[in-house]
Amino acid sequence: MMSYTNIKEEAYIANMRLPKLNLVLFTFGNVSAADRAKGVFAIKPSGVPYEDLTPEKMVIVDFEGNTVEGNLRPSSDTQTHAVLYKNWSDISGIVHTHSTYATAWAQAQLPIPIFGTTHADHLTVDIPCAPPMNDEMIKGNYEYETGFQIINHFKNLELSHKEVEMILVGNHAPFTWGKSAEKAVYNSAVLEAVAQMALLTQQINPSAPRLKDSLIQKHFERKHGAGAYYGQE
């Protein structure tokens, strides 16, 4: 039972950041951290308050969604995580929250327009909003289908999940991901900040223009391009 210590610890730390970043109320969120070599991920147990979490309580699940280790039931959103890990082989962390502003955009069923450089520092397109699923998908394996709804929306929009690490699921709430659980949590906090700023921007100026292409490219490349010069790496 000494196995999976690394991803349990990583998932624990990442989960504990959600309440500190004001991204969750009670248990309305979950983070997972994957070990690609072992083909599993560690995820928060379902409905356990953050103050009662420990690294040991994390549940180990494989990419088919089967529990591999752990006494507690994994997050009810586990199947969504499993589908994303299975189909997107280069991500190793996933976050789901019901953070206030991002969820409001999801409920409004609208993508978040790219209004400024805070947004462009992280992605070059509007933050996508997948439509609610059809009734058959909802009545079936709901969380499993949620994963495919996300993947299919990226295919429809011809987006790369390596360049766009976040989505709103219509009527529901956001999912974010990244190369690590820590990066996925970072993306959730960025999404919430961008979602709030975008709403305020439209309230100040209902005809505010989207960011022009040259600025979009410049800011994204500052952080992510071949000649990136943001940060210390």
Q: Which residues of the shown chain bind a copy of itself in the complex (CB under 8 A)?
A: 25-26, 28, 45-48, 72-73, 76, 98, 100-101, 103-110, 115-118, 132-133, 135, 138-139, 142, 171-173, 186, 189-190, 193, 196-205, 208-209, 211-212, 214-215, 218, 222, 229-232
Strands 129-130 and 166-169: parallel
User: Comparing C-alpha atoms, which of 185, 201, 188 is closest to residue 114?
Assistant: 201
Q: Which is nearer to a copy of itself, 37 or 209 (CB)?
A: 209
Those residues with Cβ within 8 angstroms of residue 140's Cβ, 6 or more apart along the chain or in another chain: none
Residue 134 φ/ψ, nearest 5 degrees: -75, 165
Minimal distance, residue 98 CB to a copy of itself, in Å? 5
Q: Which is nearer to a copy of itself, 155 or 231 (CB)?
A: 231
Distance from C-alpha of 223 to C-alpha of 104, rounded to nearest angstrom: 28
Is 186 one of the catalytic residues? no
Q: Residue 40 or residue 198: which is nearer to a copy of itself going by CB?
A: 198
Q: How far is the CB of 89 from a copy of itself (least distance, A)?
A: 27
Active site residue 50: no
Pure H helices in 30-180: 78-87, 100-108, 117-120, 135-139, 142-156
Closest approach of a copy of itself to the CB of residue 135, in Å: 4
Among residues 105, 102, 90, 104, which one has the least CA distance to residue 177?
90
User: Least distance (Å) from a copy of itself to the CB of residue 130?
Assistant: 13
Residue 51: how many other CB atoms lie within 10 Å: 7
C-beta of 88 vs 194, nearer to a copy of itself: 194
* Catalytic option among 50, 121, 142, 144: 121
**Which residues are tagged catalytic?**
121, 230
